[in-house]
Amino acid sequence: MNIITTSLSTLLLTLTLATASAEVKAIQPTGKIPLPSEHAPTAEEAAVFEKELEAAKAKPVTVVLHQGNNGAKVTIPNGAIVIVILETQVASTGYDWSPAFSSSNILSFQSKNIKDDAPTNPMGDPILGVPCRESWIFKATTPGQTLLTFSLVCPWEKDVPPVQTVQFNITVD
């Protein structure tokens, strides 16, 4: 089957599938896109739509970022929740993610959680080098822009460059 690409405004195509072949017919454009319903919404329908729209606006927006999103530019509304999930080996190696902001008043820290599913040795200690996940939760509190940078470091080692850095450029509307 050949595929024909053309502008919708010049030609509308209808593809009719028959048993083992396809037939393409040209239809003259009407100048408008047909709507599922050609009538204007009733006052009741409009009221339901407005109510649903307001309910959607009232729900907080949640954005989840991972290491794979390194360098991402994210725009969120004020009040949105930002969850950053990073892999680490904090339980077994001492490395920990340390966050920093270019503008400290744009996001507020809410909580940090370490999900450690690492297997343990017979004495109950974590096996070295097994990854776990650290999650950080922030809330957008002030319109503006900030560069959120996470550095993977050993907290007791001073003046040592981070092993890894992850950054997110966040704009709060």
Instruction: Quote the pLDDT of residue 144.
Output: 96
CA distance 107 to 145: 9
Average pLDDT, the chain: 75
Contact at 8 Å (CB) between 149 and 100? yes
- Tokens encoding 151: 């550095």
Do residues 150 and 84 make contact, with C-beta atoms less than 8 angstroms apart?
yes
**Residue 145 burial (CB count, 10 A):** 13
* 84-94: b (≥16 Cβ within 10 Å) or e: bbbebbbbbee
pLDDT at 155: 85
pLDDT: which is higher, 28 or 87: 87
Name the range with the highest mean pLDDT among 17-21, 57-61, 144-148. 144-148
- pLDDT, residue 108, reads 95
| Prediction pTM value | 0.62
Closest C-alpha among 170, 151, 154 to residue 98: 151
Residue 125, pLDDT above cutoff 80: no
Q: Report the CATH fold assignment for 62-172.
A: Immunoglobulin-like (2.60.40)
Greatest mean pLDDT range, 4-8, 14-18, 50-54, 76-80 = 76-80
pLDDT tier at 154, thresholds 50, 70, 90 = confident
Which residues are CB-neighbours of 17 under 8 A, at least 6 positions away? none
Residue in this structure with the two tokens 């460059």, named with its chain if needed: 161
Q: In the prediction, which pLDDT does 57 show? A: 67
**Per-domain boundaries in the chain:** 62-172
- pLDDT exceeds cutoff 60 at 116: yes
Residue 37 reports pLDDT greater than 80: no
Q: Over 111-139, what HEC string results?
A: EEEEECCCCECCCCCECCCCCEEEEEEEE
Q: What is the pLDDT of residues 59-74, one digit of tens each?
A: 778 899 999 999 999 9
